[in-house]
Chains A and B, each alone.
Chain A
Amino acid sequence: MKTVLQCKEISKTYGSGQIQVQALKKCSLEFTQGEFAAIVGKSGSGKSTLLKILGTLDTPDEGEVLLDGESVLHLSDKRLSKIRRRKIGFIYQDYSLFPEYTAYENIIMPIHLDGRKEHKEHVLEVLETLGISGCKDKFPSEMSGGEQQRTAIARALCISPAVILADEPTGNLDAGNANEVVMLMSKAARLYSQTILMVTHDRQMADYADRILVIADGSIG
């Protein structure tokens, strides 16, 4: 299988002077196309930092990040923005939806940001797959937590990215909804051949993944 995302010996330290926290210590990882991987670890273990670096929202102090074989560390802001628009999808614990846009508008936002026109049938198909076709014209404040998170997943899926990075996507959901969301993510990864990298501290959720990576004190176990 083709390697989609790769990081080589990345390290990251926060703070300066005497108060320094090493969030990541020489982490090396590889993710292949269509893989559903889970990174588990306690709070403060470096999961979110790793995700941010892989999502090009932060830069490591050392090491290298390759997306589709291309190093993304020294790219311009414009190029990075383009990569985020086309190759990376994000899912967050707090859903991160725009409250002033409907579910449909939220989903097509990254496509429009890229200056493209959405493929309506594809969006509706994703909505159908995720079971939220009835929420199409609802605003986030009119939806339940599970529906909001599915909308966020749909937004990530609709741009057909190479990688979807999910940061505690089930953190705000009840057990039923959480299971459903993770199952849907797993289904989507297979259906659309997309690599999903999920950060969680819930071992039960991680069990849905093809591969589980444990992070502790900034190092992958």
Chain B
Amino acid sequence: MSNTFLKLILTGQRRRKREMRYVSLAAFISVLFMSSVTLFQTVMDRYLMETNYQNYGDWVLSAVKDDTDSTVRFSELSHPYFTASGVCVTGASLLNGQNEPIRACLGTADEEVRQFGNLSLYDGRFPEAENEIAMDLTSLSALGYRYETGQTIRITVQEEDTVAEQDYLLTGIIKSFAANWKHRFRYPLPNCIVTKEGLARICTPRYATYFYQLDRRYEDLDMQEFTSAFFLPGHIREYNSYVYENRIWGSKDMFDSVKLLLTLIGALAVGYLMLSYVSQRRKWYYRLRCAGADKAQIRFLIFVEAVCGTFPYALLGMTIPYAVGAAVCLGLSAGQGLPYFFVFHPEDFFGQMGTALGIILFVILCAWMGCRDQRLSQNSHGVTKRQLRRLRRDARTHRNRNTGRSFLRRQRKLHPFQYTAFVLFSFGVCLLLTLCLNKLWQSGQEYRLAKEDLHDFTASRQNNLAMESPFMDGAISANKDPAYDMYDGISDASGKEIASLIGIKSIERITMDATHILQWQNKADSPIEQHVLEQYKQNHISIPGTYFSYYEDCGKLLKELKKDFELKKLDPAAFRNGEEIVLMLSPYDIWGDEADKQLLETTIHAGDTVEIVSAEEQLHIPLEIKDHVRLPGCVPVKVGAVIKNPPLNWKWRVGFGASYAILASQRLAERVAKADGQTLCYNYLNIDLNSASSFESTQKRLADIFSEQSVTYSSDSEEIALLRHTFVRNVCIYSVLLITILFIFLLLWVHFHQLQDRYRAKEYRLLKQLGMEEAFWARISLKESFWETVWMIICVPCSYAMMAFEIYADFKKQKETVGLYLWSDTLYDYTGDLMLLTRDQMRLYTNPVISAGFVLALILGLAALRYLVIRRCVKPDASGKSE
């Protein structure tokens, strides 16, 4: 090919600057879309893995060696994919001041576990001498110690039949790996770390947990399948699913599907662009052929035009995200103390590059085939024979008077492949956007549900109430059990000090009480009461539990109640004023000969009036509470709602053994206290912290106050922080993904339509000359946009189907490998039914209204955008300036 001809082509391209700018930019954005979103999700997946390693430990399998149980088999694991192993030895469980076991264990963690498990401390260091100890916040609070290193901790454990005690120096406060690693099997990890010698000082090791680190090169394997080979009968082994299953899009399969979808979208975008460009250039090729160019020259022209106009920009679109990604990863890893996690995957890069360039070459090939003389001469008229056939068919079948509709239909008939490609492109992008939105919603729901029952601090004070009751024969039954007492709780001064601390977000104050009972008119007919009386006559004392919970924040309580139950008769205002109560009736279990039989209260109904009286006022059983001898009050109150056999979550909340659980407002507690002539106290606090809180000034101080007041407390701060971190991380990832996809999609969308309008400009002008009004453009753009985007609605069920399939497949894998037995909200029971569990998860983690609303908003937004684009195209013509 002569140099002159090449120069001529390049000059032509330079002169057609505007047209080429559109083509180059669209190629750039299309490839940028494909490469940036794929790279983003790859990098974020890597980031998730790094944070997972940090939070849940960099181990894939653990195996327990039980020194006390010979039935548990053990063998050290070895596999070429494992790079390191470490061991945690666990000794006895700790006992509290009353010598009752608490949920904390003493043990050791070797150097390897500390290293690959990323064990870290809030304060201090790990123990080095035999009298040193490092403990987590849970065990410190359970033992009633402050969060202060340097103090002496007395550790008490049960060693066979004896109780052993030793003093240790607290050298460090560890971040609770034992809870975070979610090692939920019956072999918990140690919360209090001592040296090997330090453990031997007080107890013998019970069992050892061996951890195995996986070579990171193999982390993309199907981990459930890989690890399932290690699960053998008699062995106690656990797979760290929290690390390997907690990936972007939820699973590797879904990740790969999205990657494929992105590649297809990119290919469609590039293909659409190139097809439009080449088909519009055919007329020009024909003119050139008429001017004497031979076929080789035409083909060379097509090749040079396509390559020069798109290749460099496609390459740029591929490389820019990689440079930006590498820089972002550097910043993130430096900011969050993570190792540099940017990984260049040549297969991804070259795969996408190959796809983009392959599509361009494919279109060039198509253009070459389409530049035969016969085809070119057909194209000289602007309408090919094939198009003509389609148009004729349409002219025969559609004879309506709506110009806008017929204009758009004919446009679709002229370019059906471009139209289909564009619909598929929009559909694919919308599917991705809906998936992102679903994931965002799922993250929010997961966080909300997990956070629902967690508080940074929960403090409660129970009294050891002494209750005496005589049998029929005169003998005395004497019990001293911890029970909530509304007149014994957290002091006013402590309450005020807590409220004044920096970093307190909210305090939920509840008064719990077990020193009162309910009396009502036909209590004697109650099956429970009759049974109790019968028992008493046979010299058995059996008292049904009656627990009161008085809430300061009635609004929140009512909202939660209304969410779970129908409270038609309850008057919220009366409830707030302490004039009505909500009564939860749970079955009363009958022990002895009639085991498994349950009785449910049937004599109290919504609307009845009951009386709150001292527990000593039992109708048939003489009872004496030593701390409160005959409280004189009697407070009548209306039953606003009766909830029979409440679900488990409410049973746990109101007191599991309560046959009668009363939920009421603090106002009612005040009335009861006034009637009894006593002073009311809060005895249950849920405290949430805000971002101003710090370990030193808030958590430590709270622990001090509760220790001083002999108040039992527990802290879920670490779990909440982990949940929050996971939630924020997921929201950031999916919202950035959503915004990036949406932004690039809108750019491409506008760009494609501008390109399309440029080719249609002549027809628009003609319509304008024939008297087309402004409103027509609005109608035409809305209609066109509607037909291009209406298919997006299908994305909602499609994305749900994908999610459901992912959840189902995950459950199925679990069932096949480690077994599946989960709680079902539909059944209110545990089940292994895959369909039921999938449906439960879908109900929890999806919101069709939000998804459909988002897609509709997108459709409307695109219609508005289409109107703006079309208006911009036809506007200058009105004044004739475009001429």
Contacts and interface: CB of A to CB of B under 8 A. Distances in A.
Interface residues of B, number: 34
B773 A98 contact: no
Contact of B770 (A90, A100, A137): A90
Contacts of B762: 96
B769 A55 contact: yes
Nearest to B381: A141
Interface string B394-419: 01000001110011001101100000
B766 A96 contact: yes
A59 B880 CA distance: 8
Interface in A18-53: 52
Given A96-B766, A100-B383, A102-B395, A113 B772 contact: yes
A142 B391 CA distance: 12
A1 B771 CA distance: 27
Given A81-B773, A90-B770, A52 B410 contact: no
A101 B883 CA distance: 25
Interface string A81-108: 1111110001000001011111001000
Nearest to B390: A100
B388 interface: yes
A64 B117 CA distance: 87
B774 A77 contact: yes
B763 interface: yes
Interface in B715-769: 762-763, 766-769
Query: Which applies to chain B's interface (DSSP): helix, strand, loop or mixed?
Result: helix
A52 B382 contact: no
Nearest to A143: B381
Nearest to A82: B771
B392 interface: yes
Nearest to A111: B401
Interface of B: 381-383, 387-388, 391-392, 395, 401-403, 406-407, 410-411, 413-414, 762-763, 766-776, 878-880, 883
A100 B413 contact: yes
Contacts of A84: 769-771
Contacts of B880: 52, 57-59
Given A52-B880, A141-B381, A141-B388, A57 B410 contact: no
B388 A139 contact: yes
A77 B770 CA distance: 13
A112 B382 contact: no
A117 B399 CA distance: 12
Given A58-B880, A105-B395, A117 B401 contact: yes
A114 interface: yes
Given A59-B879, A78-B774, A109-B403, A101 B769 contact: no
A117 B772 CA distance: 16
Nearest to A116: B401
Contacts of B382: 99, 141
A85 B769 contact: no
Given A98-B763, A142-B388, A57 B403 contact: no
A77 B777 CA distance: 13
20 contacts: A52-B883, A57-B768, A59-B879, A77-B878, A81-B771, A81-B774, A86-B771, A96-B762, A96-B769, A98-B407, A99-B382, A100-B387, A100-B414, A101-B410, A105-B406, A139-B383, A140-B381, A141-B381, A141-B382, A142-B388
Contacts of B413: 100
A86 to B, nearest CB: 7
B636 to A, nearest CB: 75
A110 interface: yes
A77 B767 CA distance: 14
A104 B401 CA distance: 13
A99 B381 contact: yes
Nearest to A87: B771
Nearest to B409: A100
Given A52-B883, A109-B403, A112-B403, A81 B763 contact: no
Contacts of B774: 77-78, 81
B769 A113 contact: no
B383 A141 contact: yes
A105 B770 CA distance: 14
Contacts of B406: 101, 105
